[in-house]
Amino acid sequence: MDYIVDKHIPFEFILDHLYQVSPVIKRMFGCVAIYVNDKMVLALRQRDDHPEDNGLWVVTDNAHHHSLKQELPSLRTIQLFGAKISSWQLLSEDLDDFEELALQVCDLILLGDNRIGKKPK
């Protein structure tokens, strides 16, 4: 696993849970992006600006919103992106069951769920 040692990584339990698939970690726009098998699957955000969007950003497509929200009703649009409905979805760190839900997303990644992740262009 590639770790960024010079800066804090939020929600490290997510990396621990994904350890077996050798996630690659990269900085992106003040967040920590997680790649598995050359696909960006998640971004971890914990910043002072726009705290309403701190948490686990799930990389997905609009076509998968409905089915993912069936399993994870707490997923929502990232407000930082404005009125546009982003293909990416957020599990807010403010949720009482944030850790449990984040691990559920990780389990979907471990199972190879094709609704999560995109290959960068």
* pLDDT (tens digit per residue) in 37-78: 999 999 999 999 999 999 999 999 999 999 999 999 999 999
- CA–CA distance, 77 with 8 (Å, rounded to integer): 25
Angle at 29 between CA 23 and CA 35, to 5 degrees: 15
In a domain, 44, yes or no: yes
| pTM: predicted TM-score of the whole model, two decimal places | 0.90
CB-based burial label for 62 (10 Å; 0-12, 13-18, 19+):
exposed
Q: How many domains does the chain have?
A: 1
In a domain, 116, yes or no: no
In a domain, 4, yes or no: no
Long-range CB pairs of 11-14, under 8 A, 24+ apart, other chains included: 11/44, 11/46, 11/55, 11/56, 11/93, 11/102, 13/99, 13/102, 13/103, 14/42, 14/44, 14/56, 14/102, 14/103, 14/106
In terms of residue numbers, what domain contains 99?
Answer: 12-110
In a domain, 82, yes or no: yes
Q: Is the pLDDT of residue 5 over 70?
A: no
